[in-house]
Structure 1
Amino acid sequence: MNSTKENSGFKKELGLFDATMIVIGSMIGSGIFIVSADIARTVGSSGYLLLVWVITGIITLVGALSYGELASMMPYAGGQYVYLKESYSSFVAFLYGWTMFLVIQTGTIAAVAVAFAKYTAVLIPWFSGNNILLNLVGLKISSGQILAIVSVLLLTYINVNGVKEGKLVQNIFSVAKTIALIGLILLGLIIGSNVNVIQQNFSNMWNATTVHLKNGVIDFIEPLTGFAIIAAIGMAMVGSLFSSVAWENITFIAAEVKEPKKVIPWSLFLGTLIVTILYVLANVSYLFVLPLKGDPTAKDIAGMGIQFAAEDRVGTAAAHFIFGDVAVIIMAILIMISTFGCNNGLILAGARIFYAMSKDKLFFKFAGELNNKSVPAKALWFQALWTSLLCLSGSYGQLLDYVVATVLIFYILTIIGIFILRKKRPDAERPYKVFAYPFLPMIYIILAAVVTIILLIYKPNYTWPGLIIVALGIPVYLIWGKKLNN
């Protein structure tokens, strides 16, 4: 180990509750209210819709339990970046950090910020993405983009003022959105449930189909059998997996956690378990309220079903049956709370990766400096700058689509690192050892690898460009390394 161990400048302000709220808050954004529509179109049945979320939950929970061993062994700023460096090399760790900065962390923050602005526009239409304020050399800048950037800058400012301030915002918003989501689930299961809809959705639970569209209408519905079902599940998991990532963010800020060797493994387990249960129950609630199958040309919410909910807003469609027309406003407020809290966790944690890279002389030197509040302020502002540029470019959504497989590959490599470090450093202190080793980590590696291979084969336009983005980091590393050796 080298300078990544030197975390003495950080303040240990985060307890188990705070750490768990960071896991929950970073995971729950807007995805759970939207992506089930695409999943329903891809697998076409309630059984497989729920199975996609259950498999996603298992992968997430097993991954979190596996990371617990690495977190207890190396509770340093940078988390996953440190694990990759110690398991493999600085080169592999750099490619991870490079991709996190260029696309994954900053792109996710940008996407969540724009979602926050989009739902704010439901309450205040002036913030609509269609309200173009400036047309600069073909680049259209809307009021929604400006609000997204302002939200990123505001949260960055809060976190620059100390981890104590950041955790306060995180706790408030994470608790609020968790309670709101539980409330929505219960209302759907108890008040909004429809006997006819339930019978319709659960009578043929395993009759898998994929809907093919042409010019906005159904072209044909393809029955799925055999391996085609497995492939469909893999493709459908793009949305559910992205709704369930970012749990590892707590590892990035390990240096600021009290008793990190104990607290981080527990927060990973509790946080991912709670979110997994909420996500599955949310989808059961949707299936109690809305027909799964629908028609994009239908004139009412029931006719469009889960598959074709307006703009894929399944949560809003379900809420409409419970609250009536006011549901649009209720869901807008809920998603605003959810996305704002989600971004606070992402912003707080992300800068610590770039801090750790800087300490290893693999990122700009200024990113490794702490301010008088004991946080990497310059790394936070630099992260905000690049995120703002992504917001303005409008390319973050496409970039995130590109890195779905890449995110999984880095997860797989990290968990393989458990096996590597057990051999390389057998005598290292491991306050927590992954449960049911080696079977639990192997389950994750196999499941994640299957999904990754399916995506590479069946969604090449979305996945191979992500590998190119990673590969672009190779010459950057070589240049940085050359500069380092001079």
Structure 2
Amino acid sequence: MSQEQPSFKRSFRLFDATMIVAGSMIGSGIFIVSSDIVRNVGSAGGLLLVWVLTGLLTVAAAVSYGELSGMFPKAGGQYIYLKEAFNPLIGFLYGWSFFTVIQTGSIAAVGVAFSKFSAYLFPVLSEKNILFSVLGLNISAAQLTSIALIIFLSFINTRGVQYGKYVQSIFTVTKLLALFGLVIFGFILTANAETWHHNRETGFSIQQLTSSGFLPYTGWAAFGAIAASMVGSLFSSDSWNNVTFIAGEIQNPQRNIGLSLFLGTLIVTSIYLLANIMYVSVLDLPSIAFAENDRVGVVASQHIFGEEGTMIVAIFLMISTFGCDNGLILAGARVYYTMANDGLFFKKVGELNKNGVPEKALWIQCAWASVLCLSGKYGELLDYVIFAVLIFYALTILGIIRLRIKKPKLERPYKAFGYPFVPLLYIFTATCICILLLIYKPNYTWPGLGLVLLGIPVFYILKKNNSEL
């Protein structure tokens, strides 16, 4: 009698799924990227406009994904949607980009953010503390700390889905409460009517803010500045789709995935907007734009809590990045597992361990994310891929329309909100941003596109050698 193979357990309730969405979105970006946005747009209204546009795009994409998650409630999420709506090649190109940099690069970046803020409390963990050199690479204590975090969280998730679930829920609730608390204390203790009035006078004008003053844009450059600004805000709001990768482990997935996407993105979008309103109520624009190392959250916290503000934000960000990396690690491995079962990844990765989780997928993800930590190139890679990420989001939402035409009789427990207008609005807006980025940030967008296209020969090599995987 053959031994029964382990299978995924439907352990995630609606609350747990919502915590995956929110927890994977909130890392360190909300405390950093507003500085670059203000330098690009030069006004309080412009800053809030960028975050509102980002929020609308994020929520619009999330509610559109609800239809796809109801149609294909199984592990793999966006990879499955693209494969079903178009063809295996498009699905693989997403999975290829996802493994090479989107997910693993995000894990590495969040891990290094954890170590950087840990250094506020434990200076020995600083990136300036170079421990040794290997092959010309200087290895810092911060890099080793980030790798240790990734290994630890990967190990926790190999023990069973309940451990990763508990870590995610506890840390996400903690950081949501802490972020709400920071915003409330900022409004109550430090909000300054004069600062708010002065910032409000800048209106919604789009202009470059430099150390020597404002510089107006000419022609279409203002739209390019908005698009460039949204790279940071979109990355800070990304990873909401992680919940779709664990669809095979969610209770009542036809209902709970779509609902968790909506609730999670709405919560995070709201708190991001409130945080930026707090920034412009507490700090003048130059203080936001030229915060040391772009850490506007630290500067705001210092205004609110005094010298202790630095430590408060450091502790909060350690909690935030710890929980964020757990969500990324937990969800990402399910994509490689599904690809392996399609013959498009190493065969052994498509197996579950005795705890019902894809252990080998977790460890191969851990290994590559650790390499990216050591390479020092993960930040550049993330900039390269944000363009590709938008393309895949737009393609996935286009897949909703394609599937309505291609498979009209397929059961749809949940239908995309505002169809076809909301999906078409997202596709149009994302396409415009991509075009503007191609024009105004070619150093990032073209290499990102090249990385995606590199997956085409890899796909055909894998198909040819499928029997050897």
Q: 1:18 aligns with which of 16, 19, 22?
A: 16
Correspondence 1:456 to 2:429: no
Say whether 1:395 aligns with 2:377: yes
Mapped to 2, the partners of 1:477 and 1:321 lie a distance apart of: 53
User: In the superposition, relative to structure 1, how do residues 181 and 419 fare at CA in structure 2: closer, same or farther (>3 Å)?
Assistant: same
**Residues 6, 356 of structure 2: 8 Å contact kept:** no
Partner of 1:163: 161
Q: Is the 8 A contact 2:107 2:329 kept in 1?
A: yes
1:426-481 deviations in Å (ceiling 9; x for gaps): 11110000111100100110111111111111000011001111111111111111
- Which position in structure 2 is the counterpart of 1:406? 388
1:47 aligns with one of 45, 48, 51 = 45
Q: What SS class does the counterpart of residue 222 from structure 1 fall into? A: strand
Question: In structure 1, what is the equivalent of residue 180 of structure 2?
Answer: 182
Given the alignment, which residue of 371, 378, 381 partners 2:360?
378
Structure 2 Cα separation of the partners of residues 210 and 481 of structure 1 = 49
2:261 and 2:82 map into 1 onto residues whose CA distance is: 18
Q: Aligned to 2:248, which of 246, 255, 258? A: 255
Question: What CA distance in whole angstroms lies between the structure 1 residues aligned with 2:47 and 2:427?
Answer: 23
User: Conserved in 1, the CA contact under 8 Å of 2:337 and 2:350?
Assistant: yes
Q: Is the 8 A contact 2:112 2:143 kept in 1?
A: yes
Provide the secondary structure at the position in 2 that maps to 1:191: helix
Q: Give secondary structure in 2 for the equivalent of 1:10.
A: coil
| Offset, 1:204 | 2.5
Question: What residue in structure 2 maps to residue 242 of structure 1?
Answer: 235
Structure 1 residue runs of 5 or longer lacking an equivalent are 1-6, 213-217, 295-304
| Distance in 2 (alpha carbons) for counterparts of 1:424 and 1:205 | 47
SS in structure 1 at match of 2:306: helix
Give the alignment's TM-score, normalised by structure 1.
Answer: 0.94
Amino acid at match of 2:274: L
Q: State the SS of the aligned residue for 2:307.
A: helix
Pairwise CA RMSD: 1.2
Equivalent residues in 2 for 1:343-358, closer than 5 Å: 343-358=325-340
On the 8 A contact 1:23/1:268 being kept in 2, the answer is: yes
Question: What amino acid is the match of 2:25?
Answer: M
Counterpart of 1:297 in structure 2 is none
Q: Residues of 1 paired with 2:298 and 2:340: CA distance?
A: 43
Which of 57, 68, 76 is equivalent to 2:55? 57
| 2:289 partner SS | coil
CA distance in 1: counterparts of 2:17 and 2:55, whole angstroms: 19
Q: CA deviation at 1:485?
A: 6.9
Q: How does 1:30-429 map to 2 (within 5 A)?
A: 30-212=28-210, 218=211, 221-224=214-217, 227-292=220-285, 294=286, 305-429=287-411
Other structure's SS at 1:403 match: helix
Aligned CA distance change for structure 1 residues 158 and 485 (closer, same or farther; 3 Å) = closer
Unmatched 5+ stretches in structure 2: none
Q: Please say if residues 14 and 167 of structure 1, whose CA atoms lie closer than 8 Å, have aligned partners that are also in contact.
A: yes
Cα distance change on mapping 1:463 and 1:219 into 2, 3 Å:
farther
2:440 aligned partner, one-letter code: Y
The answer on whether the counterparts of 1:129 and 1:142 sit within 8 Å (CA) in structure 2 is yes
SS in structure 2 of the partner of residue 135 of structure 1: strand
Cα drift, residue 220 of structure 1: 6.3
In the alignment, the residues of structure 2 paired with residue 220 and residue 317 of structure 1 have an alpha-carbon distance, to the nearest angstrom, of 21
Alignment check: 8 A CA contact 1:118 1:129 kept: yes
C-alpha contact 1:208 1:225 (8 A) present in aligned 2: no
Is the CA contact 2:16–2:169 (under 8 Å) kept in the aligned structure 1?
yes
SS of the residue corresponding to residue 283 of structure 1 reads helix
Deviations for 1:342-363, whole angstroms, at most 9, x for unmatched residues? Answer: 0000000000000000010000
CA distance in 2, matches of 1:167, 1:177: 16
Paired AA for residue 423 in structure 1: I
Aligned residue pair count: 464
Shift of residue 221, structure 1, vs aligned partner: 3.3
The alpha carbon displacement at 1:484 in A equals: 2.3
Deviation at 1:206, TM superposition (A): 2.0
Mapped contact 2:42–2:214 kept (Cα < 8 A): no
TM-superposition CA deviations, 1:167-219 (whole Å, max 9, x none): 1000010000000000011111121101211111012212321135xxxxx36
* Runs of 4+ off more than 6 Å: none
Counterpart CA distance in 2 for 1:473 and 1:74 is 24
Indicate conservation of the 8 Å contact 1:28/1:243, yes or no: yes
Post-superposition offset of 1:373? 0.5
Structure-1 separation of matches of 2:38 and 2:187: 19
Structure 1 residue 231: Cα displacement? 2.0
The 8 Å contact of residues 51 and 233 in structure 2, kept in 1 or not, is answered as yes
Query: Does the Cα contact within 8 Å between 2:6 and 2:352 map onto a contact in 1?
Result: no
Q: What residue identity is the alignment partner of 1:395?
A: K
How far did 1:225 drift? 6.0
Residues 219 and 323 (structure 1), Cα distance of their counterparts in 2 relative to 1, 3 Å cut: closer
Q: Distance in 2 between matches of 1:325 and 1:381?
A: 41
TM-score, structure 2 length as denominator? 0.97
Q: 1:226 Cα shift? A: 5.9
Give a deviation string over 1:267-296, Cα, whole Å, max 9, x none.
00000000000000000000010001x2xx
Q: What per-residue deviation string (whole Å, max 9, x for no partner) do you get for residues 386-431 of structure 1?
A: 0001101111001111111000000000000001111111111100
Q: Is the 8 A contact 2:118 2:314 kept in 1?
A: yes
Distance 2:401 2:463 in 1: 28
Cα distance between partner residues in 1 of 2:34 and 2:184: 18
| SS of residue paired to 1:206 | coil
Which SS does the other structure have where 2:344 is aligned?
coil
